[in-house]
A and B are shown apart, each in its own frame.
Chain A
């Protein structure tokens, strides 16, 4: 069964450093998403991406964040200058369509900012 994969599983970085989190969505899916879950808190939407552009973003997704689909398979989330409060589990998801279709989630990348 096709799955969303994410690398790395755990990333430790120093405050102020740039990180790139990588995702490989399910191959025939067209919509891509990033969510995050700060320890002990809700899963929060960050951004959705379709047809090579951002279709929706939350207030959390400020200028420090960017997303890219650099090739036909990868979908990345970049945080330019990490802050302590960026420490969280980051989940990538994809769906075949945007409307009623199901979003399938990857296993997550745990980001720790020191």
Chain B
């Protein structure tokens, strides 16, 4: 069965420090992987995706993520956190091997960036 795990409910980081939000996945085929961010009272905003090719993908607002097939991970990173990055972050996976378009989401990780 397809699944996504975000092992940390919350990540705390000081402004200016690097941040990492972790994500691991389980799918039967080659995954399509996504990160979304949710600000209070807002919808899910797309940050970045991995489909194929270079394992390091760059996205919006200076975020990047690294696909690691052997560890089945897709951690979100940013070299220097901003207070405005504080939000709820969701990792999602799609397994195209069965012709499925649905996204399977992780439980979300709340990022708190302190001044």
Contacts and interface: CB of A to CB of B under 8 A. Distances in A.
Interface in B7-62: 32, 34, 36, 41-46, 49, 51
A39 B51 CA distance: 30
Given A42-B107, A45-B102, A106 B43 contact: yes
Nearest to A100: B51
B105 A58 contact: no
Nearest to A47: B102
Interface residues of B, number: 23
A107 B42 contact: yes
A6 B44 CA distance: 13
Chain A: number of interface residues, binned into ranges? 20 to 34
A43 B44 contact: yes
Interface string A78-97: 00000000000001010100
6 contacts: A48-B102, A100-B32, A100-B51, A102-B34, A102-B46, A107-B43
A101 to B, nearest CB: 9
Interface in B71-115: 90, 92, 96, 100-108
